[in-house]
Structure 1
C-alpha cells in the first residue's frame, strides 16, 4: 500500500484538485499538453506530476503517457499504440472518448506541415483563409482529386458549392487540430498558431509528407 501511495504521490499535490480532472479528460481525448495549453498552469503541473502519472495510466488504463520535444517546445500525450492487427489500441478508455482522425483531416494536417515548413516555427500567426487559398494555388492541378477526397465529388466540372465544401472540410480540420492541441485557433479571427506538438505529424508521417503530391494524385 505504501508503494502505491508513493507511485501516485501527485494525488496529494495542492494543485491536483485544480488541474487533474481537466488534464485527465484532455489526455484521454487525444489532446496534446504543452506550454500554450489552457488553463495556464496545467502544463507545469503535468511536468511535476509526470512520473506518477505514467504509472497511473499504465496501471489503471493500460495506456502510455509520453513526452517529446525539449525545453519550451516539450509536449505530452497519450501514445495509442497499434495492436498485432494494425489497429490502434486505446486501453480502457471508454468508447465516448475514442475519436479517430478522418482521412481528409489527416491530408489537411500533412499539407499544413508541408506549407509552413518542417521546422514549424511557433509564435507566428497564420490565417485559415490564407491556408485554404494556398492549398488551392499550390494544388490547382489536383483539384479533381481534392474534390473527391474533401467534397465527395467525382464530376468533371467544379462549382462554387464544391469549392465551399472543400473550404469547410479544411476549416473543420483546423478546429479538430485545435482540440488535439496541434494548433491554437482563434474561432473569431480564424487566425492560428502552429504549436510544438504539431511536430508529431513529422514523427508519424515524415515519409508520407515528402510523397504527398503522389498521394493526392492517387
Structure 2
C-alpha cells in the first residue's frame, strides 16, 4: 500500500493484519468501537496498538484516534480535523436523528427511565409520558401537540425505528438478534453527550420545527 507521506508507516505483526483491516474499516465508517460482543477482538487490537495507530491516523487521514472512558465502558472513534471534516462526503446524523439520540441519552443516563435493553414500544411509551419531550416530538412531526391517535403513534414508531437504524451504524445501539423489536444501548452513546451537553441539560429550551 502506498502512503501519501513516506514517514507514515504502520508496522503490524502478521496475525494483526486482519484485525487492522476490520478496525480501519469501522473507524473510517464512523463506527464507535467498544468491548462488546462482535467488537471485542477489534477493541482489544486498538487497545494493544494505540501508540502506533494514533500517529498513523493523524498523519495519514488527519484524524485523531480518540477514546472516552466512562462508568459504562470505554470506546474509540475517529475525530477528523476541521479542514478534513468539510471535505468528507459522509453525511452526519440528520437533525431528527440527533434529536432522538439526545432524548434517548437524557431518558436513559440522566433520568434513568429504563435499563440498557428495551423494546421500541417501551421507549415510545416513555416518550409519550415525558412532558419535557412529547411537545418537541409533536411539533417536529405534526406541527403542534395532538392527541395520541393511531396515525400519531405510527409516525412516532417510524421515527424511533429510523433513528435506531442510524444510531446502530455509529455503534451507539445494537438491535438484538433474537428480537428485532428490542435493542441495547451501548457505552458509546456517551458520545452524544460529549457533543450536545448543553442541549441535554436544557431539553425544554430546544427549538423544534417541522419546516
Same fold judged by TM-score > 0.5?
A: yes
Question: Is 2:100 the partner of 1:105?
Answer: no
Aligned to 1:208: 199
Aligned to 1:162: 152
Shift in Å at residue 208 of structure 1?
Answer: 0.9
8 Å contact 1:37–1:181 — kept in the other structure?
A: no
Aligned to 1:58: 58
Greater alpha carbon shift after TM alignment, 110-119 vs 60-69: 110-119
Question: Is 2:69 the partner of 1:69?
Answer: yes
Unpaired runs of at least 5, structure 2:
1-5
Shift in Å at residue 216 of structure 1?
Answer: 4.9
1:28-47 → structure 2 map (5 Å cutoff): 28-36=28-36, 38-47=38-47
How many residues are aligned here?
201
Cα separation, 2, equivalents of 1:119 and 1:80: 32
Unpaired runs of at least 5, structure 1:
84-88
Between Structure 1 and Structure 2, the one with more strand by share is 2
Cα separation, 2, equivalents of 1:69 and 1:38: 19
Question: Is 2:176 the partner of 1:186?
Answer: yes
8 Å contact 1:32–1:181 — kept in the other structure?
A: yes
- The SS at the match of 1:130 is helix
Shift in Å at residue 69 of structure 1?
Answer: 0.4
Greater alpha carbon shift after TM alignment, 130-139 vs 185-194: 185-194
Shift in Å at residue 201 of structure 1?
Answer: 1.7
Aligned to 1:20: 20
Shift in Å at residue 214 of structure 1?
Answer: 2.1
Aligned to 1:116: 108
Shift in Å at residue 21 of structure 1?
Answer: 1.8
Going from structure 1 to structure 2, the CA distance change for 1:76 and 1:91 (only over 3 Å counts) comes to: farther
Q: How far does the alpha carbon of each residue in 1:65-98 deviate from its partner, in whole angstroms, 9 at most, with x for none?
A: 1111068711100113545xxxxx43775x3xx1
Q: How far does the alpha carbon of each residue in 1:186-207 deviate from its partner, in whole angstroms, 9 at most, with x for none?
A: 2634222221111122222121
Shift in Å at residue 140 of structure 1?
Answer: 8.5
Q: TM-score, normalised by structure 1?
A: 0.78
Shift in Å at residue 138 of structure 1?
Answer: 1.1
8 Å contact 2:139–2:208 — kept in the other structure?
A: no
